[in-house]
Structure 1
Amino acid sequence: MGTAYRKALSLLNLHALQFIIVLRVIIVHFGVILMKLMQVNLYDLLQRFYKTCEIDCKGNDFF
């Protein structure tokens, strides 16, 4: 009985470890995707801001 209990506990620990690894991969994957989307959106925002400033500042000497 003790051997079966240890084997079941070992399998349970293995499944828990596999679940944690899969969960970590999913979190990292979506984190990377989210960071890429934020980078693209930030780049677009800065480009629009730069174009607006470029249009508004054409008459100034410092531009």
Structure 2
Amino acid sequence: MHVENHSNTGMIVGIVLALAAVAVALLFVTGFWSADVKGGALPKVDVKAEGGALPDVDLNSK
């Protein structure tokens, strides 16, 4: 007689991920979290490089 042991790890991980996704969705739907992005602009990029040299980088960030 051959006995096989089956692991439920994949199903448990899937359930946990599904619950996490539902929780995040509820936070967005209720307005607790919001993804309101207003204003702003893309940065101005000016890259000049000479052969064999790395470009100068001027970075302004939060």
Q: TM-score range by the shorter chain?
A: 0.3 to 0.5
Scaled by the length of structure 2, the TM-score of the pair is 0.43
